[in-house]
Amino acid sequence: MTQPPTQPPGGQYMPNGRPRPGASASAPGSPSFQSQPRFIDYGNPRAYDTSVRPASGLTAARFAPAHIQRPDQAQPQSAWSTQTRRAQEVSQQAAKMPAINIGVWITVVVLAFALLFVLGWFFLEFVLTASSSPAWWPVTAFLALLSLVVISLVMVLADRWDPQPLPLLFIAVFWGAAIAAFSSYWLNTLNSLLVYLVTGSEAAVAFSGPVISAPLVEETTKGLGLLLLMLLARRYFNGPLDGLIYGALIGGGFAFTENIIYYSRILEEAGAGFMLILVLMRGVGNIFGHAIYTALTGIIVGFVVRKWGSIMGFLVFIPALIPGMLFHAGWNFFSVMGGGVLMTLIMFGGQALLSLVWLISIGLLIWDESRLTRIRLGDYANQGWLTHEEVDMLATWTGRREGKRWAAQLGAKPVMKRFIRESADLASIRQRLLADGANPKVVGIERNLLGRLTANRQELLSHAR
């Protein structure tokens, strides 16, 4: 990489020393005119090695280098514009860029109404059965909402590298809070009745309900939300980080409704003081419980989807539930057996350790996602769609910051942000083609994104001139 001169001539260099997009081809660092793009080995993560299943979607025809003039014939062009001819046919043939489809929006609306119904149901139940003032129910809902807000903020931070569409995040929360919570409520109640009818023992009900029924039922109903998201928007379910984010939001939504039920019950049975103790135990000490359990399922499904494709992602669903079920059952087991100081310390100490490991794993998955983005964009750079300097800018935190800072000086920061976002989407699509093969729909999305890549670059160039 060329170092910038002491006084950059003509403003041709970015602050990091790389040529500005408008720099002339004769400037130091500009790509030379050649028949083949420069090749750099970006490596391949062993965990996602799909070399035995090459994506035929990355066709030779699409990436065949276009004719480039000899250096003595070439007119001065920008470092970026020399690459755009390679995408002209793709951009001309591309269909309309697919957005979030109408089915996703319909699902958001249906689940939102379902959540209103569920909350109305439990409010009406509280009003009709409790002796406490109905005004206490909104208090319990607010306290439960605080935990959901914390979980959501953590997921917003985790989702910064390649943000998921907001409607899908709403689906995750609404599914957990409405469908999973309400169906689990009735299925657990039914299981408890069956156990009592068979055994006639309240002790058996008190043990089997939390330790056996709840983990099996609740993790399954929450996990089905992950499958729904894969069906509705497979394009945005591309790996373990996506699975973690969706799973955690489903679990957070579930915990929101469940906490309302528990807080309102203990308020009625033991008063406001004991309710606050329970808030500290569930809303602080075990705030990430359900989020972690479902996130584990999402991580496993996401990893399998990234490496082996969509079909295997659905097939692995049942085994993927097991880790979350086991951790859930363990927490409930110690809750049922609790009562002593030692047992309480074991419970919350173990949960704190699990939460710490989970938070660390989020950081590792973000790093893994950024690394894979760089590798997959490197595939395109090696075929001439991007420069290798652009890969550094689009696929590293430092490069993104420098690129946005430079674009802000030109009044083009929104364009740069879109360039970064759609490039990350392109990297995800490339990985999906490697895992699933050349599905015509996905190949079409890839073509559109390549066209968008060219359009974003040209728009930045128009600001740089």
**Out of 77-81, 196-200, 319-323, 395-399, least confident range:** 77-81
Q: Is residue 53's pLDDT more than 70?
A: no
Q: Is residue 92's pLDDT more than 70?
A: no
Q: How does the average pLDDT of the chain come out, rounded?
A: 83
**Out of 108-112, 145-149, 233-237, 459-463, least confident range:** 459-463
Cβ atoms within 10 A of the Cβ of 126, count? 20
| pLDDT in the model for residue 156 | 96
| Tokens encoding 105 | 């929006």
Q: What is the pLDDT of residues 242-294, one digit of tens each?
A: 999 999 999 999 999 999 999 999 999 898 999 999 999 999 999 999 999 99
Q: What is the pLDDT of residues 299-310, one digit of tens each?
A: 999 999 999 989
Contact 254, 288 (CB under 8 A): no
| pLDDT in the model for residue 215 | 97
| pLDDT in the model for residue 5 | 33
pLDDT confidence tier of residue 451, bands split at 50, 70 and 90:
very high
Of 88-92, 125-129, 147-151, 392-396, which one has max mean pLDDT?
A: 147-151
- Burial (Cβ within 10 Å: 0-12, 13-18, ≥19) of residue 148: buried
The count of C-alpha atoms lying within 13 angstroms of the C-alpha of 290, restricted to the half-sphere facing its C-beta, is 32
Q: Is residue 238's pLDDT more than 60?
A: yes
- Looking at per-residue pLDDT, the higher value among 329 and 100 belongs to 329
Q: What is the pLDDT of residues 353-404, one digit of tens each?
A: 999 999 999 999 999 999 999 999 999 999 889 889 999 999 999 999 999 9
**Out of 34-43, 278-287, 415-424, least confident range:** 34-43
Residues with Cβ within 8 Å of 335's Cβ and at least 6 positions away in sequence, in order, are 210, 347
Q: What is the pLDDT of residues 143-191, one digit of tens each?
A: 999 999 999 999 999 999 999 999 999 999 999 999 999 999 999 999 9
Q: Where are the domains of the chain?
A: 102-337, 368-464
| pLDDT in the model for residue 44 | 64
Q: Is residue 13's pLDDT more than 80?
A: no
Contact 142, 83 (CB under 8 A): no
Residue whose entry in the numeric block shows the structure tokens 């984010």: 245
pTM value?
0.82
Q: What is the pLDDT of residues 313-346, one digit of tens each?
A: 999 999 999 999 999 999 999 888 876 788 888 8
Residue whose entry in the numeric block shows the structure tokens 């109408």: 102
| pLDDT in the model for residue 37 | 67
Residues with Cβ within 8 Å of 71's Cβ and at least 6 positions away in sequence, in order, are 32, 33
pLDDT confidence tier of residue 70, bands split at 50, 70 and 90:
very low
